Amino acid sequence: MLVLGAGLAATALVAALRSGGFAGEITVAGDEDPYDRPPLTKELFARSAPEDLREQFSLAADAAAWIRARATGIEGGVVTLRDGAGRATTATAGAVVLALGSRPIVPVGWEGVRTLSRWDDAVALRTALAPGAHLVIAGAGWIGLELASSAAAKGATVTVIEDTGRPLGRLLPEPVAERVTAWLRAVTPGTVTLVEGRVATASPTTLDLTNGRVVRGDVVVAALGARPATDWIPRQWLGPAGHVRTALSGTVPGASDIWAIGDCAAAPGGQHWNAAVASAQRCADALLGNPVADPPVPSVFSTMFGRRVELVGHASPGHEVLWREGRGNGWAALFMDGDDLVGGLVVDRPRDVAALRRLLGGGRPVLDRAAAADPARRLADAVRRR
């Protein structure tokens, strides 16, 4: 088996295959060493080496052979690999698994603007962020906010530009994004400024907004989301957004013995940690001839501004919101479609996260609104019979 890419999905696949009893040869070819990405933003200033980010990765020498190479072509089951000096070799295998991840979106013309996706980006960024530096971030999604949080804690002044004007504004129902905005303003007075606007042009130190405003800083970072790293993959295997089209198990329709997992595939749950691991497990099960489990309830975890934030299930700006909060700091916003619960954003209430996962795992439960809003009651007790 040949696995292309050596990140989270690849290492989870190797671990799942070996623990499932796969005894064949596995070779993993990656253009960088395996490590875990979430700490790159959340612990930007805390980690000293990529090895430090490998706790969860079990690419042990006896599990898989490892080649440092970049895959640049695949035709008729033959993969072209290039080493750091550009020298090409070819490889074949009984099964080829694409685990290529994604790359940050950088609009045309934004030359020199930084991104934060790889270890090298993190190292360069923390060197550039000297104490007192002004960091300008385009995009208030997960990555932009986590970076703002780490940089502000380290003494930087941060400006975040977001076209909806609200953190996570493209994702969350409006009242919830408003609440995140108010929280952010309250905990970062004078350090993090949120600016509503759309970026027209960008340079390494300046963003020009379409409303005429110019925002200058010492460092500019684009945090606009990511695209699958599939530019060299045959077009007929790709969907409109550049993801490799797959069945639930990871097989690629119309391509024999080719599989795709993680961020590069359009796996249910999106480009997130839990979804990547689940897709690797499904792929391993299919390769081992085991039944393939249904995808888990989508969920994204984050830590920002000292709080644990988790998004579970489905969220859209149009969903109605049911608040659930007590006297402490934690709260949950439940996303409703009529009386059906479809998702929620939970801040510092880990029990609600677990309950949401369980309840949404069974479909769209109908909630008794008064019971669900009472933080002293278990969420499970608020479910009504349909």
Residues lying near ligand FAD in the complex (CB under 6 A): 4-10, 29-32, 37-38, 40-41, 70-71, 99-101, 116-117, 143, 229, 262-264, 271-274, 276, 300-302
State the nearest-atom distance from the C-beta of 265 to ligand FAD, in Å: 8
87 or 386: CB nearest ligand FAD: 87
83 or 381: CB nearest ligand FAD: 83
Distances (CA, A) of 171 to 38, 167, 177: 19, 9, 8
State the nearest-atom distance from the C-beta of 279 to ligand FAD, in Å: 8
State the nearest-atom distance from the C-beta of 185 to ligand FAD, in Å: 23
How far is the C-alpha of 121 from the C-alpha of 145, rounded, in Å?
A: 17
10 or 177: CB nearest ligand FAD: 10
State the nearest-atom distance from the C-beta of 66 to ligand FAD, in Å: 12
105 or 187: CB nearest ligand FAD: 105
237-265 burial, b for 16+ CB within 10 Å, e for fewer? bbeeebbbbbeeebbbeebeebbbbbbbb
State the nearest-atom distance from the C-beta of 275 to ligand FAD, in Å: 7
State the nearest-atom distance from the C-beta of 276 to ligand FAD, in Å: 4
Count other C-beta atoms under 10 Å from residue 146's C-beta: 24
**Edge to edge, what strands does the sheet with 219-222 contain?**
192-196, 157-162, 134-138, 219-222
Q: Tokens 């969907």 identify what position?
A: 239
> Which one-letter DSSP state was computed for residue 238?
B
| Cα torsion angle, 312, 318, 322, 327, sign | positive
State the nearest-atom distance from the C-beta of 326 to ligand FAD, in Å: 26
The strand pairing partners of 214, in sequence order, are: 208
162 or 365: CB nearest ligand FAD: 162
Q: What φ, ψ does residue 10 adopt, rounded to 5°?
A: -60, -45
The strand pairing partners of 201, in sequence order, are: 208
Locate 223 and state its tokens.
């945090």
How far from each other are the two terminal CA atoms of the chain, in whole angstroms? 47
What residue number has its CB nearest to ligand FAD? 7
| Cα torsion angle, 63, 66, 70, 76, sign | negative
Amino acid letter, 341: L
311 or 367: CB nearest ligand FAD: 311
State the nearest-atom distance from the C-beta of 224 to ligand FAD, in Å: 12
Summary count for the chain: helices (H), strands (E) = 8, 24
40 or 177: CB nearest ligand FAD: 40
179 or 272: CB nearest ligand FAD: 272
54 or 377: CB nearest ligand FAD: 54
Query: In a 3-state reduction of DSSP, which class is residue 97?
Result: strand
State the nearest-atom distance from the C-beta of 341 to ligand FAD, in Å: 21
Amino acid letter, 95: A
State the Rg of the chain over Cα. Answer: 22
